Amino acid sequence: MAPRPAPVRWGLILLAVGLVGLGTALVVWLRPLLGDTPPQARTREVSAVVVTSSPCSGQAAQDVVELEVDGQKRQAKLDGCGHRQGETLRVALPVPVAAGELVVLPAGATPTGSGLAGRLSSVLLALACVAGALYGFLLRVRLPMPRRS
Angle formed at CA 103 by CA 114 and CA 85, multiple of 5 degrees: 135
12: exposed, middle or buried (C-beta count within 10 Å: 0-12, 13-18, 19+)? exposed
Q: Which residues of 52-76 are buried (b: 16+ CB within 10 A; e: fewer)?
A: ebbeeeeeeebbebebeeeeeeeeb
d(CA 24, CA 11): 20
Q: pLDDT at position 93, please?
A: 80
Taking the chain (149 residues) in runs of 10, the rounded mean pLDDT of each run is: 62 77 74 58 81 82 85 85 86 77 78 64 80 78 67
Q: pLDDT at position 34, please?
A: 62
Angle between helix axes 116-140 and 10-34 (nearest 10 degrees) is 160
**What pTM was computed for the model?**
0.48
